Structure 1
Amino acid sequence: MNDDTTAETFEGQPSANDRRIITEDGLEARIAAIVEPVVEQLDYRLVRVRLSQMNGMTLQIMAERPDGTMSVEDCEAISRAVSPVLDMEDPIDREYHLEVSSPGIDRPLVRRSDFEAWSHHLLKLEATRVVEGRKRFRGKVVEVEADGVRLERSEIQPGEDAIVSIPFDAIADARLVLTDELIDAALKADKAARKGLGDNDNDDPDGTPEA
């Protein structure tokens, strides 16, 4: 197994350290069950686990700090902690490349607090089942309810309501769409979080130190 760590700016500041409601299945779910307790023990939060065929096979672990910051050093700390556990549990039956990163600006939304923190920003959502005639949606969350979200669609077909209610248990994937508004909000959130930590260095906004 080869280790690599990358870091990007984490943009949201969730209202609570709630559990993930959008999770993996199959082998990815097994891996998530192995690494999530390790990540949480280090006071980080697991966002997502993904396996891809990039560079042979790559295991991507997305994580974040609850306070909204993420650095190269944070990614390295997680990598060092999960690598021996993965080696011991050995869930993947072939060589793979481990990549630890932050969620990025166009991040996936996996917790109720993610939808709250990034409501009124454009997102794309894929459902596990047909909801009001569709499985794919694009729009902005206007309300987060106990068991789902109310989404204002950006694309409306004749006969469709502008607002659609989508249960959390019907969401397969939800991700922010990169817009100027989102970039501005993300940079402001990151700056505020770093100021709260007393981080006044000159590192780039993506957490990568300047050369």
Structure 2
Amino acid sequence: MNWQAAVETTVTGLGYDMVDCERTPGGLLRVYIDLMPPALGADGEALYITVEDCERVTRQLQYVLEVEGCAYERLEVSSPGLDRPLKKAADYLRFAGSEIELTLKLAFQGKKKYRGLLSAEGEGWRLVFNDGKVDQALDFSLDEVRDARLVPVIDFKGRRAKPAAGPKGAANNAEVADNKVDGGLDQ
């Protein structure tokens, strides 16, 4: 078994979602984990990865990587952070209705970076954003994405930042102009 398969099998076997893993030339093996959805407590509040979760995964990975003969110098296991990356279709589906920052591989209408509300749209995805004048909709596929991350929602002593939209998945009632990104376009 290769190191990536060993890491993913171990992390998911412990009941966590493996967000990402990377290996540096210096021997650092870095693993980002998250709670499996739905990650809500009894009171409906969001749950987050704790130090104990990271410690549990670290201990198990140390054992598994040794048994599998996977060499590494240092192992780091951590949460993906408030600006969690979206890597796979399941991530996009899980965080539909959330505000994200999206960077496309190729510029669309002279722009690569967008920030708006994510939603599922047929076979692809849609980002609803405001261009300064009116709400716009950008349809895209995962193949067109270079990077996508959640926009952090910070809660200071019960003062939560207000979301940019209504309930999860709902966009503003303003007019939305559709812009379709076609993967076959040469931009």
Please confirm whether the aligned pair reaches a TM-score higher than 0.5, indicating the same fold.
yes
Structure-2 residue corresponding to 1:7:
none
What's the C-alpha RMSD, in Å, of the aligned pairs?
3.2
Whether 1:72 aligns to 2:42 is no
Q: How does 1:112-151 map to 2 (within 5 A)?
A: 112-127=89-104, 129-130=105-106, 132-133=108-109, 136-151=112-127
| CA shift for structure 1 position 79 | 0.8
Equivalent residues of 1:57, 1:97 under 8 A apart: yes
Deviations 1:13-50 (CA, angstroms, capped at 9, x unpaired): xxxxxxxxxxxxxxxxx643221111111111111113
Identity of aligned residues (%): 30
Structure-2 residue corresponding to 1:58:
28
Structure-2 residue corresponding to 1:173:
147
Farther off after superposition, 37-46 or 56-65 = 56-65
| CA shift for structure 1 position 52 | 4.8
Structure-1 residue corresponding to 2:63:
84
| CA shift for structure 1 position 115 | 2.8
| CA shift for structure 1 position 134 | 5.6
TM-score for the superposition, normalised by structure 1: 0.56
Matched letter for residue 13 of structure 2: Q
Farther off after superposition, 130-139 or 79-88 = 130-139
Equivalent residues of 1:120, 1:140 under 8 A apart: no
Deviations 1:86-125 (CA, angstroms, capped at 9, x unpaired): 2344555xx5321111222211123434334434443222
- Distance change (3 Å), C-alpha of 1:155 and 1:52: farther
Distance 2:69 2:103 in 1: 31
Higher normalized helix content (fraction of residues): 1
Equivalent residues of 1:106, 1:175 under 8 A apart: yes
Which structure: larger Rg?
2
Deviations 1:69-94 (CA, angstroms, capped at 9, x unpaired): 322221111111112332344555xx
TM-score for the superposition, normalised by structure 2: 0.62
Equivalent residues of 2:99, 2:116 under 8 A apart: yes
- Distance change (3 Å), C-alpha of 1:71 and 1:179: closer
Structure-2 residue corresponding to 1:107:
84
Equivalent residues of 1:108, 1:173 under 8 A apart: yes
Farther off after superposition, 113-122 or 57-66 = 113-122
Structure-2 residue corresponding to 1:164:
138
Unaligned runs of 5+ in 2: 40-46, 162-187
Distance 1:51 1:44 in 2: 20
Higher normalized strand content (fraction of residues): 2
Whether 1:35 aligns to 2:35 is no
Matched letter for residue 114 of structure 1: D
